[in-house]
Structure 1
Amino acid sequence: MLYDIIILGSGSMGMSAGYQLAKQGQKVLMVDSYHPPHIHGSHHGETRIIRHAYGEGEAYVPFALRSRELWKDLEQELGKDIFFETGVLNCGPESSPFIQNVLKSGERYDLHVEELSSDLMKKRWSGLTIPADYIGAYEKNAGYLRTYPILAGYAELAASYGAVLAGGQRVEEVQIKEGSIEVKTKNEIHRGKKLIVTAGAWGGDVLSQLGLQLPITVTRKTFAWLHADAPFQEDKFPCFSFDTDMGTYYGFPDISGTGLKIGRHDTGLAIHPDQKGPDFHDGDAEELLGFLSRFMGGGSFQLREGKTCMYSMTPDEDFIIDYHPDYPEVMFALGFSGHGFKFASAVGEVLSEMAMEKELTVDMGPFRLNRFI
């Protein structure tokens, strides 16, 4: 069969694109090395923060707002909740560029961001031990997304519109042939008119077969769930992001008794995705507990479970969403640098528009590859 579009990598971005394309009548094949949702991609870990007043820069805000609209649409189509508005507390020194970007983008786009002093934060959320020179930027309409119901929902809907999901098929070779693109796995050869690469940490390897070297480094990251006492339960505490002199940390309240979830966003060990680096160890736990003892020292925590994950980092930590410079029938969305999942709904829409040669709903100028040239 000759598919209209083959998607390599059927995690958050690829599954969203497959759903969008199949819904519009395209013949879609979604290929993945595993069977999504799974623990090997960037969607594992059950929850992801969604925020719209964006510390990484105002260029993201229209993208984030479009994503929110599409998440709400997906909730309606699935008939289940996937977006939970706990609020998100961004915190750091007043001089922090991240915090200032949150405040500026919140004001520009009227996002109901509340600026809070250290004393006000400690008064509102018991358990916090914030330094006096730190401020908060609290976005009440932000919160978290449930990753596995989203992936499973996209898969179910895409299949209902005729998309084919080929899980458990590791891609061995990709070739551009006259009139088609050929994707070879261990047991099959698939052919399509166009190709979308959303293979996460493996995306650079795929595109290198087509002569394109991307400036992406895969890094090992850590996160953990901890038993926490009452002040950090979901009905009393928001999701959070802290820009500190100890590093950048993010986390979630105790959701349904699963424990407070926390991870470190910056630093990390460079790895190849097939060799994920060391398992979560005592040093990783000490790093996370060190942050908690300083900034949430009014609570008590006990490690419940620690895990590792992978970030695909670009030099500027911004996404790359573009066409292959030599093969316009090849598109890709990669390098999400640890903050991409919240955009998956809109990334899928953009990729579907690119593949179908439509006008883009959101400008992708800030995310083009040529910024590195």
Structure 2
Amino acid sequence: MMAASRGRVIVVGAGIAGLSTAWALEKRGFAVEVFEQGPIPNPRASSYDEHRITRHAYGTAEGYAYLMPQAFAMYDAMFRDIGADHFARSKVIYFIREDTGWYEPSARSLSRLNSGFRDIPLSDIPERFPMVETAGLTRAVETDEGGMLFPIRILTDLVVALGNRGVTFHSDARVTAVDPDAGLVVANGREHRADRVVIAAGAWLEKLTPVLSRTVVPSRQAVMYIAPPPEFAKAWADAPVLIDLGVNSGTYTLPPRRGTRLKIGDHVFTRAGDADGDRIATPADVARLESAARLSYRGFDRYQVLEKKICFYTVTRDTSERFAVQPWGTRAWIVSACSGHGFKLGPLIGDTVAGAIAGERSPDEATRFAAGQMDLEEHVAPPAPQPAE
């Protein structure tokens, strides 16, 4: 590790937000310690998954669409750094059944980004995507920029790389108290001090601070890993990411790729549950998802369910689905991911917070940037973090 002349930072949480922040801080010459309540990486963390979608099209959340080129570039920098590329690039296909307000803002932002997209004739769907239920389809849109990230592999390689550079990891170290003005955390009953503290505890954030209790809330979410009927196996093996935008049929589906399973989920937030609770998916947890999947895919009842999984997101109490990133006291920062944005934008948001700690941008700018509140013209792509001299 480079000589740490810029101070010491404690990062609470070893998901994608915490590890990305640690990566960006270490590159800037800070000494970093990461505290995680379980193993590192932690299988109970929201970040821990086989694969996750990333994309440029963002519907009404246009501010996040304008962040995506920088998010892709930051992942490229991270992959160069860890020596492995855990991103399967693919097109993303959107199947529209009702007017959800997605198309117009997506077309506008994709056009401004010069990111390719086009309509697929509905008559082509049965041949190109024989597993898709065509009843009720009103439009199909193919976008060029997107694909699948492989979280478990990213987290594992990032931990190895950071450890090799001198980042200190504290596994099975549950943080129970934070003093944001003293730069102090209490983990397993012991006090630890640093010049700065970053809280990136995901759905456990509310257990450490009430600062964002009116803004964000844990949300118990269910996904399913499934095996398709044999007649659809090749179609799924060749498929890109598929997203159904029906009101009742809304699902997102990641095909099997690089040794992963076929995965399906929905985007309806429960805004309920305790992150310390179990990860056992009950029939009630998956009822809406199963119903939606039957409307999205032909013969869905013949798919074999391999696993029903529960994870916890942190989402806003309103419908804005934005990151809540802000300073806390005089020495701490809170990094609260929102929804599935967390993994897509993790390295970029981590770099943003690290940049604010290093004095490269103001706290207000970092907060607005992370919340997707900047228009395209306000974005200046930051350089990828470089090692400190």
Provide the TM-score with structure 2 as the length reference: 0.85
Tell me if 1:295 matches 2:296: yes
CA contact (8 A) 1:86 1:142 kept: yes
1:270 partner amino acid: A
Give the whole-Å Cα distance in 1 for the aligned partners of 2:286 and 2:183: 46
Displacement of 1:106 in angstroms is: 1.2
Contact 1:126 1:298 in 2 (8 A): no
User: Please, which of 246, 250, 253 is the counterpart of residue 252 of structure 2?
Assistant: 250
Deviation at 1:107, TM superposition (A): 1.4
Aligned residue runs from structure 1 range 26-41, under 5 A: 26-41=30-45
1:199 corresponding residue in structure 2: 201
**Identity within the alignment, %:** 21
Inter-partner Cα distance in structure 2 for 1:312 and 1:34: 18
Residue 84 (structure 1) aligns with: 88
1: distance between equivalents of 2:84 and 2:231?
A: 27
Q: Once the two structures are superposed, what CA deviation does each residue of 1:297-332 show, in whole Å capped at 9, x if it has no partner?
A: 1664111111111121102221111212xx242112
Which SS does the other structure have where 1:246 is aligned? coil
Instruction: Give the drift of 1:198.
Output: 0.6
Q: Secondary structure at the match of 1:97?
A: coil
**1:38/1:282 CA distance change after superposition, 3 Å:** same
**Which of structures 1 and 2 has the larger relative contact order (alpha carbons within 8 angstroms, sep 6+)?**
2
Q: Which amino acid aligns with 2:253?
A: G
Distance 1:12 1:158, change over 3 A: same
Shift of the 305–70 alpha-carbon distance from structure 1 to 2, 3 Å rule, reads: same
- How many aligned residue pairs are there? 362
Q: CA deviation at 1:339?
A: 2.6
SS of equivalent to 1:67: helix
Indicate the structure with greater strand content.
1
Q: Do the aligned partners of residues 213 and 290 (structure 1) sit closer, same or farther apart at CA in structure 2, a change above 3 Å counting?
A: closer
Provide the rounded CA distance (Å) in 2 between the counterparts of 1:46 and 1:257.
9
1:46 CA drift (Å): 1.4
Change (3 A) 1:53 1:280: same
- Residues 80 and 367 (structure 1), Cα distance of their counterparts in 2 relative to 1, 3 Å cut: closer
How far apart are 1:351 and its partner, in Å?
A: 1.2
SS at match of 1:280: coil
Structure 1 residue identity aligned to 2:307: E
| 1:226 aligned partner, one-letter code | I
The CA distance in 1 between the partners of 2:96 and 2:33, in whole Å, is 44
Moved more, 115-124 or 63-72: 115-124
Structure 1 gaps of 5+ residues are none
Deviation string, structure 1 residues 222-265 (Cα, Å, up to 9, x no partner): 11111113545554211122221215321111235644210121
CA shift digits 1:163-184 (9 cap, x unpaired): 111111001211245xx41111
Secondary structure (helix, strand or coil) at the match of 2:77 reads helix
Match of residue 215 from structure 2: 215
1:97 partnered with 2:101: yes
Match of 1:108 among 99, 107, 112: 112
Contact 1:3 1:191 in 2 (8 A): no
Return the letter of the residue paired with 1:265: H
User: Cα distance 1:47–1:37, how it changes in 2: closer, same or farther (>3 A)?
Assistant: same
Code of the aligned partner of 1:222: A
RMSD, aligned CA: 2.7
Match of 1:160? 164
CA contact (8 A) 1:225 1:259 kept: yes
Q: Aligned partners of 1:363, 1:347: CA distance in 2, in Å?
A: 9
Matched letter for residue 124 of structure 2: L
1:260-310: CA deviations, max 9, x gaps? 21012104261121124x721334455433333322116641111111111
Query: How far, CA to CA, are the matches of 1:149 and 1:214 in structure 2?
Result: 34
Structure 1 match to 2:242:
240
Instruction: After superposing the two structures, state which structure 1 stretch, 292-301 or 141-150, moved more.
Output: 292-301
Cα contact 1:23–1:158 (8 A) shared by 2: no
Change (3 A) 1:136 1:333: farther
The answer to whether the 8 Å contact 2:324/2:367 transfers is no
Is the alpha carbon distance of 1:272 and 1:28 closer, same or farther for their aligned partners in structure 2, counting shifts above 3 Å?
Answer: same
- 8 Å Cα contact 1:55/1:98 also seen in 2: yes
2:192 counterpart residue number: 190
The residue type paired with residue 289 of structure 2 is: L
Where 1:156 maps in the other structure, the secondary structure is: helix
> Which amino acid is the alignment partner of residue 18 of structure 2?
G
Cα gap change, 1:363/1:138 in structure 2, threshold over 3 Å: closer, same or farther? Answer: farther
Asked if structure 1 preserves the Cα contact closer than 8 Å seen for 2:220 and 2:311, the reply is: yes
* Equivalent-residue separation in structure 2 for 1:176 and 1:244 (angstroms): 44
Q: Structure 2: which amino acid aligns with 1:227?
A: A
Alpha-carbon distance in 2 for matches of 1:134, 1:44: 35
**Aligned partners of 1:53 and 1:113 also within 8 Å:** no
Are residue 170 (structure 1) and residue 174 (structure 2) matched? yes
Is the alpha carbon distance of 1:350 and 1:366 closer, same or farther for their aligned partners in structure 2, counting shifts above 3 Å? closer
Unaligned runs of 5+ in 2: 1-5, 374-389
Q: Distance in 1 between matches of 2:42 and 2:73?
A: 26
Which residue identity is paired with 2:128?
Answer: R
Work out whether 1:62 is the aligned partner of 2:63.
Answer: no
